[in-house]
Chains A and B, each alone.
Chain A
Amino acid sequence: MPAVADASLTAQFGALLPYLVVAGGGVLLLLADALSRASRRDHLYLLTVAVLLGALAAQLFGPAPERTALLRGMLGGEAYTQYFNLLFLGIALLTATFATSVFERAARYRTDFYPLLVFATLGMMILAAATDLLTLFLGLETMSLAVYVLVGGQRGSLRASEAGLKYLLLGAFASAFLLFGMGLVYGWAGGTGYADIADGLRGAGGNLLLLRAGLGLMLVAFAFKIAIVPFHMWTPDVYDGAASFVTGYMATGVKAAAFAALLRFCQLALPELGGFWWPLLAVLAVVTMIVANLVALAQDGIKRMLAWSSVAHAGYLMLGVLALLATGRQGLAATVGPASGGAVLFYLVAYSLMNLGAFGVITLLGPDRGEEADRISGYAGLARRQPLVAASLAVCLLSLAGIPPTAGFMAKFYVFGAVVKAGLVPLAIWGVVASLISVYYYLRVIVVMYMQPAGESIHDGRSWETAFATGLLALLILFLGVWPGGLQRLAEVTFRTLAG
């Protein structure tokens, strides 16, 4: 039984309204898609935007989030949920905008993109709000199934089909790991709620073998979804093969959702067992940061480079999770814990902004015309041809590298700061070394854009929505780099609601 009592029925309905809007909107989009002519799809984009904005409004202006359980402790309704729901809905809105600019020019994409995008977003929202192993799994599956199809959804593209198939097969494998692990954890705890696991840990010492085996298997699945070494092998191929706007959606939404679920699981289910995952995660995080950054140095394609960069960023984010686990172990949870959790939340927002910006520009310039258009050398002279777009991409890349005054710098600053406060100085040093390596490959793109003469122009994309959106993202990144305090406080307060 849940530790937190259920809210009243009306309060629950208010809190569930964003999910209902998104789920109902997805079904509505399917119907609209089926009933409309294949040649016209502008209205599908508008309907998607309406659904997502409606859910955003329901989330923002709904009842104030409380620390209550929803639907018998299956979902948590705290500010933490709200924070991530807003993030996911924002990511989906931007992705739909990037996608529509491509759809105008190329008929290679199917119209079921929009409903699938909406359902994937619903899965992310459920995943981040889950307080029960069952909802965790179902949220993950809703998200994953939709994303598999989004990845493979380019008509006639062999690379996309290959990427979709790879992601589907490996993802199914990871899901099996997750289910098996959950089965063992359920067998140990006697309940599927996070609270049941925490209760079991508080009650019994004794034989933790079953629980540990289960948690180890669950960790494999989490590591696959957030793509940390050695569970990252799918990332370059899948990120490269998918359409650029889908890649941006995966790199930000899927990763943020998996991290949100992981943080919540660590905080609610394993408050006293951080010690178990800790050494394992520390090794994985360091290996991830070093390997991913070194491999990214050698990449010629910009999507492949960003894929490896997203693996590296999963490593930095993992440092924040480690800081949180370490504080739990040292009894510092009350003082330093929220700062570490808040640092991860801040990082996820900053990371989403800069990756969406970068993939938005890539979508704008070369909508997946094969490997040639994807090469970094193809960006030569971009600064002269499209100065504003080049400037947006430059800001995003500088932010990914962690150079002030950008959001990426502040995000790394908070995470590494939390790691040092938790007493893990060596890990922070590894993190700094890794991000120093990364500066080279991010700056290389900027050098090519600004200092090399334009070769034959392979990029000619113009779309005012995408250009406007990426420009806005670049401005937001700069804003968060100069005035990070507001979001940082919000993130910390938000994380505190999770701890209760």
Chain B
Amino acid sequence: MFESVCFYLCGGLMLLGGIMTVASRSAVASAVWLIFAFLNAAGVYALLSAPFLAILQVLVYAGAIMVLFLFVIMMLHGPVMNEDLRSRSRWFWPALALPLAAIAGSAVTLLGRARGGAFPAPAPHGFGRAEQVAALLLDRYLLAFELISIVLLVAIIGALSLGLREGRRT
């Protein structure tokens, strides 16, 4: 019972964090809300008996990546916002309602399933530990693991290549 309460609390707060990330009008606030969402995602992972993923989520996403985000925002001289972004577009409420409706729809579907007794079995013993994650990464998902490095490499070249253009011109 306690676990379920924690689970739904974390899930709900994660959603709130996600919505506020999009809805905030200052970039710094968005980034902080995103950290909040990531921390709650870590809570969800922990409750789903994946402690290793939860730790990684905090260390890598909430820690390293978001700090980098904040640095970039600071380098861009704080909240750079033009007037278009300051005022909410008329699509704001529809854009907010659509994902909420989708979430509600999936929740209803899943709850309907749960009533039929088709809830997934609990995780086996030892699930989600570092050894298991390592075994998956280096065996079953080896190709995906290696491919991600190429995706990131391409992304870095692309970012450098497009970003350097401005520097060279001056």
Complex alpha-carbon distance, A209 and B151, angstroms: 32
0/1 interface trace, chain A 153-186, chain B, CB 8 Å (1 if under)? 1011000000010000000000000000000000
B68: CB under 8 A from chain A?
no
Decide: B151 and A141 in contact? CB cutoff 8 A. yes
Main secondary structure of the interface of B (DSSP, over half): helix
Residues on B with C-beta less than 8 A from A153 are 161-162
Decide: B161 and A110 in contact? CB cutoff 8 A. yes
Report which A residues bind B (CB closer than 8 A). 23, 26-27, 30, 70-72, 74-75, 110, 112, 115-116, 119, 122-123, 126, 132, 134-135, 138-139, 141-142, 145-146, 148-149, 152-153, 155-156, 164, 207, 209-210
> Which of the residues B143, B147, B162, B169 comes within 8 Å of A149, measured between beta carbons?
B162
Question: Contacts A71-B142, A116-B154, A149-B157; is A139 near B147 (CB within 8 Å)?
Answer: yes
Chain B 137-162 residues near chain A, CB threshold 8 A? 139-144, 147-148, 150-151, 153-155, 157-158, 161-162
Looking at A126, A134, A155, the one whose CB has the most chain B CB atoms below 10 A away is A134
Decide: A138 and B148 in contact? CB cutoff 8 A. yes
Decide: B109 and A210 in contact? CB cutoff 8 A. yes
Decide: A145 and B158 in contact? CB cutoff 8 A. yes
Chain A's nearest CB lies how many Å from the CB of B127? 15
Question: Contacts A23-B150, A138-B151, A142-B150; is A75 near B143 (CB within 8 Å)?
Answer: yes
Main secondary structure of the interface of A (DSSP, over half): helix
Report which B residues bind A (CB closer than 8 A). 109, 113, 139-144, 147-148, 150-151, 153-155, 157-158, 161-162, 165, 169
Residues on B with C-beta less than 8 A from A116 are 154, 157-158, 161
Residues on B with C-beta less than 8 A from A141 are 151
Question: Contacts A72-B140, A72-B142; is A135 near B147 (CB within 8 Å)?
Answer: yes
Chain B's nearest CB lies how many Å from the CB of A157? 10
Chain B's nearest CB lies how many Å from the CB of A458? 27
Residues on A with C-beta less than 8 A from B147 are 126, 135, 138-139, 142
Question: Which 10 A/B pairs are nearest by Cβ-Cβ distance?
Answer: A149-B158, A138-B147, A74-B143, A71-B143, A134-B144, A145-B154, A112-B161, A119-B154, A141-B151, A146-B154
Chain B's nearest CB lies how many Å from the CB of A392? 32
Complex alpha-carbon distance, A142 and B141, angstroms: 17
Complex alpha-carbon distance, A134 and B139, angstroms: 14
